[in-house]
């Protein structure tokens, strides 16, 4: 056989724990494999590394472990569930905990968002929401509404739907033509107008008016939905200008366009004293996508909450016919549902959504206490979210923030960087002393950056 042909010959036995085969997601694989950063255990606010060091988690894993790590209620619920009912078919069959979780979520969601579709991730939640939006218009006789509108710098996961409405160039440009019929609103980030804002920035509500331009261009009768993150997270934490989301809502309502809030990182207490950013910002979307904090990161699970009018629109045909041709083998998986129920109990019993609101002023002071340190060009915050934007090294974008990430990790602090911005989103159980620890370490590290 010529060398260019793939071979199925058995590979020689090598070390059992070779770092090479795992193609790591959204990672610098070669850098990591030369300098691995391994986490082997976690409890409460801390990870433990393979060399036995404790690392303070300032990112709730990836914005998901809102309850900290190894919450006893979730651990017990998962252990019990896996023994009792490990799996149940998700199509044409049910198990009680999926219905119970949907009922609990329906109560937690704002307004008339009272039906829930389960997925396994944020990306699946987004693609599910977009498909539901398209199908909703279709089943009510408006099949011409096929256009979807996202926003520049938006992140909606990595499915083809999500990257099409998303607005991060690197996440799109390698992957072909993507979905057609997509437009993007302008992003809302403007340091000249809104630098060092505390909470929601004042300038920029008018940027929502761009939706009217898109409607005028294509005709409202061609547009199915607008999807935005209430707070754009992955692009470096961009907060919505005051009044911006309300304006989007008004324009969507005027033109019968569905408004989808992607709350994959903002739901479950991250922004304040309610489960969703929709409530905190007092804007009612038609669909909310969730994941992450739903099970506090313990078991993969996502969900899409839809307005009653959307669910009802599908419930019209013969009663024994499938209404929506969409779903996943693991939609509402019993172990994930058990983890979700336990997480909702824990949020409630420990009053964690209120706790975010209580800690917010302390957190805000800590974030803005970094003002004046070298390289910093903006600081912003809301709820238990903080962002430190640094000037990039000329010709080496992202290098300065990545250096900060590595140095923090050496000093026992896990942060997350995106571009040259450090994004902070600690578990909601964080103490004031741990907030101090985060900013002391950050201050030392930032002062020492090249």
Q: How far is the CB of 231 from ligand PLP (least distance, A)?
A: 9
Q: What's the CA gap between 119 and 300, in Å, rounded?
A: 9
Q: How far is the CB of 373 from ligand PLP (least distance, A)?
A: 27
Task: Give the one residue of 156, 189, 333, 400 binding ligand PLP; rule: CB under 6 A.
Answer: 156
Nearer to ligand PLP, 241 or 297 (CB): 297
Nearer to ligand PLP, 60 or 438 (CB): 60
Determine, following the binding rule CB under 6 A, whether residue 229 of this chain makes contact with ligand PLP. yes
Q: What's the CA gap between 213 and 216, in Å, rounded?
A: 5
Q: How far is the CB of 348 from ligand PLP (least distance, A)?
A: 23
Stretch that binds ligand PLP, among 174-182, 260-268, 273-281, 386-394 (CB under 6 A): 260-268
Stretch that binds ligand PLP, among 68-76, 92-100, 213-221, 228-236 (CB under 6 A): 228-236
CB 431 within 8 Å of CB 361? no
Q: 116 pairs with which residues across the strands?
A: 305
Give the binding-site size for ligand PLP (rule: CB under 6 A): 14
Determine, following the binding rule CB under 6 A, whether residue 157 of this chain makes contact with ligand PLP. yes
Q: What's the CA gap between 306 and 288, in Å, rounded?
A: 7
Q: How far is the CB of 229 from ligand PLP (least distance, A)?
A: 5
Stretch that binds ligand PLP, among 47-55, 202-210, 258-266, 370-378 (CB under 6 A): 258-266
Nearer to ligand PLP, 122 or 340 (CB): 122
- When CB distances to ligand PLP are compared, the closest residue is 122
Subset of 268-327 contacting ligand PLP (CB under 6 A): 291
Could you tell me if residue 292 is left (phi over 0), alpha (psi between -120 and 50 degrees) or otherwise beta? left
Nearer to ligand PLP, 67 or 264 (CB): 264
CB 205 within 8 Å of CB 242? yes
Q: How far is the CB of 259 from ligand PLP (least distance, A)?
A: 15
Subset of 113-152 contacting ligand PLP (CB under 6 A): 121-123, 126
Nearer to ligand PLP, 123 or 356 (CB): 123
Nearer to ligand PLP, 187 or 411 (CB): 187
Stretch that binds ligand PLP, among 66-74, 134-142, 262-270, 337-345 (CB under 6 A): 262-270
Determine, following the binding rule CB under 6 A, whether residue 236 of this chain makes contact with ligand PLP. no
Nearer to ligand PLP, 123 or 188 (CB): 123
Determine, following the binding rule CB under 6 A, whether residue 265 of this chain makes contact with ligand PLP. yes
Nearer to ligand PLP, 231 or 429 (CB): 231
Determine, following the binding rule CB under 6 A, whether residue 237 of this chain makes contact with ligand PLP. no
Q: What's the CA gap between 204 and 190, in Å, rounded?
A: 8
Interhelix angle 352-368/334-349, nearest 10 degrees: 70
Which residues lie below 8 Å from residue 257, measured CB to CB, with a gap of 6+? 145, 149, 215, 220, 223, 224, 225, 226, 251
Determine, following the binding rule CB under 6 A, whether residue 155 of this chain makes contact with ligand PLP. yes
Contacts with ligand PLP by CB under 6 A lie at 121-123, 126, 155-157, 229, 233-234, 262, 264-265, 291
């Amino acid at each position: 056989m010529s060398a260019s042909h793939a071979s199925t010959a058995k590979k020689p036995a090598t070390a059992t724990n070779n770092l090479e085969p795992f193609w790591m997601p959204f990672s610098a694989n070669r850098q990591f494999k030369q300098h691995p950063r391994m986490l082997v255990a976690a409890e409460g606010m801390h990870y433990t590394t393979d060399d036995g060091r404790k690392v303070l988690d300032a990112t709730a894993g990836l914005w998901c472990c809102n309850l900290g790590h190894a919450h006893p209620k979730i651990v017990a619920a998962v252990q019990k569930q896996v023994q009792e009912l490990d799996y149940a078919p998700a199509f044409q069959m049910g198990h009680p905990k999926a219905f119970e979780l949907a009922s609990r979520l329906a109560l937690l969601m704002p307004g008339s968002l009272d039906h829930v579709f389960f997925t396994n991730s944020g990306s699946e939640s987004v693609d599910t929401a977009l498909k539901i939006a398209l199908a909703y218009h279709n089943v009510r006789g408006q099949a011409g509404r096929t256009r979807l509108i996202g926003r520049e710098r938006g992140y909606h996961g990595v499915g083809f739907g999500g990257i099409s409405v998303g607005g991060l160039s690197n996440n799109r440009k390698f992957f072909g033509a993507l979905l057609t019929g997509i437009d993007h609103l302008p992003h809302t980030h403007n340091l000249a107008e809104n630098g060092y804002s505390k909470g929601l920035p004042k300038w920029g509500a008018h940027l929502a008016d761009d939706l009217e331009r898109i409607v005028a261009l294509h005709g409202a009768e061609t547009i199915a939905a607008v999807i935005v993150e209430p707070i754009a997270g992955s692009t470096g934490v961009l907060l919505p200008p005051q009044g911006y989301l309300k304006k989007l809502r008004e324009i969507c309502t005027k033109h019968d366009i569905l408004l989808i809030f992607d709350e994959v990182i903002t739901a479950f207490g991250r922004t304040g004293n309610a489960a969703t950013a929709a409530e905190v910002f007092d804007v009612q979307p038609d669909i909310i996508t969730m994941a992450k904090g739903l099970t506090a990161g313990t078991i993969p699970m996502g969900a899409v909450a839809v307005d009653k009018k959307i669910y009802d629109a599908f419930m019209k045909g013969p009663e024994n016919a499938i209404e929506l041709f969409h779903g996943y083998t693991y939609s509402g998986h019993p172990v994930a549902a058990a983890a979700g129920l336990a997480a909702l109990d824990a949020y409630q019993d420990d009053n964690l959504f209120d706790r975010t609101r209580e800690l917010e002023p302390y957190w805000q002071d800590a974030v803005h206490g970094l003002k004046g340190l070298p390289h910093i060009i903006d600081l912003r915050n809301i709820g238990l979210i903080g962002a430190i934007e640094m000037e990039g090294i000329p010709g080496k974008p992202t290098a300065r923030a990545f250096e900060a990430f590595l140095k923090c990790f050496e000093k026992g602090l896990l942060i997350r960087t995106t571009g040259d911005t450090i994004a902070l989103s600690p578990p909601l159980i964080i103490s004031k002393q741990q907030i101090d620890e985060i900013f002391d370490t950050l201050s030392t590290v930032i002062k020492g950056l090249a």
